[in-house]
């Protein structure tokens, strides 16, 4: 098995993709709006990925945070709010806000599980600063570490109840970035003492099953390399200071914050200590390059993968996700 998660080009696998994925045996797959037509189509696509891999628990990911980061959209699926929507209620009734977030993400998880998606790249645990890039913006739960940690924990638990593994992101924190890492490399220049605020929500959620790095340079820790490619940040901060021992994937290596060919970026990320590379765009030439350069997944990677997927092995709890959405809305209306 290759330690990479690949994208898929359309609503169903092409013959070329089938042949390539069968030979490459990637660890998992990630879906985008281009892959989300309707319920029947998505279920057929995810079934085909499971059949092709020969693994019932093959990770099939999606970015379904709510708000503007949503791949499954109305009218086929209900809309979900962005993280900032829970802030006003948290200001007056933190316990109710936590319950609203848990219900929201359980409903969201059930919606994903219904079509065969078993991993959601959510929630964000980034502590937003006033000057944070709009690429984060209202996706974040707020600027207080305790609030972010509590709401994030509720989201991971809600997803688990819905039958889906959550991915906490963007480790060790994207909240100080003032430029969009999709377009350029952010640099954070504050000292290590100030960065304690950023890592607090991740440390509080160190037992999360999966995590995602950020493509940000933290000069106090490693002035030369973004977190994704930094053995100091991955080893000393994410694995050490934060204490995270879940499956660690990169953010999309196609983002312009990273330089080099796809294969070069992928190999550097694994060398830095990431378990898995995320390559989203389903470009066949790039996927062939990456698969040709990567070694097989390490035993540590496979152990972390098995442990993460086992958290949802029993499937989702029996409930009507429309009822959970109504519960969320009633709670948010109290703000």
Tell me if 180 sits within 8 A of 134, measured CB to CB: yes
Give catalytic status of residue 251 as yes or no: yes
**For the CA atoms of 13, 118, 141, 241, what is the dihedral angle to 10 degrees?**
-110
Q: Within 243-313, where are the H helices?
A: 262-272, 284-293, 299-310
Residues 23, 49 contacting (CB under 8 angstroms) = no
- Where is 156: in which H helix or E strand? helix 145-161
The verdict on whether 170 is a catalytic residue reads no
- Two structure tokens written together for 3: 């330690």
Contact 79, 131 (CB under 8 A): no
In sequence order, the β-bridge partners of residue 278 are 5, 252
Cα–Cα distance for residue pair 65/206, rounded to 1 Å: 20
Cα 133 to chain center, whole Å? 18
Catalytic residue chosen out of the listed positions 25, 138, 182, 245: 182
Catalytic residue among 126, 251, 252, 275: 251
Both tokens of 196, joined, read 């304690």
Upper half-sphere CA count for residue 110 (Cβ side, 13 Å): 19
Report the catalytic residues: 182, 251
């Amino acid at each position: 098995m290759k330690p990479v998660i690949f994208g898929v080009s359309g609503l169903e696998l092409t013959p070329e993709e089938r042949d390539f994925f069968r030979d490459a045996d990637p660890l998992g797959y990630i879906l985008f709006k281009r892959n989300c037509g309707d319920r029947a189509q998505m279920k057929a696509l995810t079934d085909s990925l499971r059949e092709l891999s020969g693994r019932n628990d093959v990770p099939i990911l999606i970015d379904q945070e709510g708000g503007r980061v949503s791949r499954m959209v109305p009218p086929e699926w209900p809309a979900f709010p962005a993280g900032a929507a829970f802030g006003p209620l948290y200001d007056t009734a933190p316990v109710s806000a936590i319950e609203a977030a848990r219900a929201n993400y359980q409903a969201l998880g059930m919606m994903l599980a219904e079509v065969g998606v078993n991993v959601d790249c959510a929630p964000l645990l980034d502590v937003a600063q006033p000057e944070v890039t709009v690429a984060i913006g209202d996706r974040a739960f707020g600027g207080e570490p305790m609030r972010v940690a509590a709401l994030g924990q509720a989201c991971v638990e809600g997803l688990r109840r819905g039958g889906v593994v959550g991915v906490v992101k963007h480790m060790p924190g994207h909240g100080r970035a003032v430029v969009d890492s999709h377009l350029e490399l952010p640099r954070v220049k504050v000292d290590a003492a100030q960065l304690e605020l950023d890592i607090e929500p991740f440390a509080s959620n160190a037992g999360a099953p999966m995590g995602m790095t950020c493509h940000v340079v933290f000069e106090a820790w490693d002035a030369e390399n973004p977190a994704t490619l930094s053995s100091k940040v991955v080893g000393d901060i994410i694995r050490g200071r934060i204490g995270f021992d879940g499956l660690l994937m990169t953010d999309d290596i196609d983002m312009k914050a990273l330089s080099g060919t796809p294969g070069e970026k992928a190999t550097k990320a694994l060398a830095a200590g990431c378990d898995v590379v995320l390559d989203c765009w389903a470009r066949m030439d790039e996927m062939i390059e990456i698969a040709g350069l990567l070694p097989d997944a390490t035993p540590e990677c496979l152990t972390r993968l098995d442990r993460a997927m086992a958290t949802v092995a029993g499937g989702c709890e029996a409930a009507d996700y429309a009822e959970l959405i109504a519960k969320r809305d009633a709670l948010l209306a109290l703000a």
